[in-house]
Amino acid sequence: QVQLVESGGGSVQAGGSLRLSCAVSGFPISRYCMGWFRQAPGKEREEVAGIYSGRGTTSYADSVKGRFTISQDNAKNTLFMQMNSLKPDDTAMYSCAASRVCTVVNGIVNLIGPNWGQGTQVTVSS
């Protein structure tokens, strides 16, 4: 059974840091493309960061470049995202996703038909 479980969200002040984790069961993430997405109230879901470990490729939304870092631990079958210098605009529900099929277009990792986790809330206050 495929399962993705996020943790690490919370409430922080602007400038603070959080580290999100996504524990995966049911498949080895080393063979999948993985990503973090977020959705704020009234906004569309956006891909924040992607990783295609088979090609050694990571990608980030312009809004988080230099602040967020995506990584994965294949031995623990866990995806991470370190978020530094958080801003109120980063407030959203963050979800991890995994797909066997992905593309890299203009340096951006795109997951095709991914499996999703339930999400973890991140709230950044000013």
Residue 85, sorted as left (phi over 0), alpha (psi -120 to 50) or beta, turns out to be left
Integer CA distances (angstroms), 24 to 73, 103, 113, in order = 11, 21, 17
Q: Rounded to a whole number, what is the largest CA-CA distance in the chain?
A: 40
- For the stretch 44-103, pLDDT in tens is 999 999 999 888 899 999 999 999 999 999 999 999 999 999 999 999 999 999 999 999
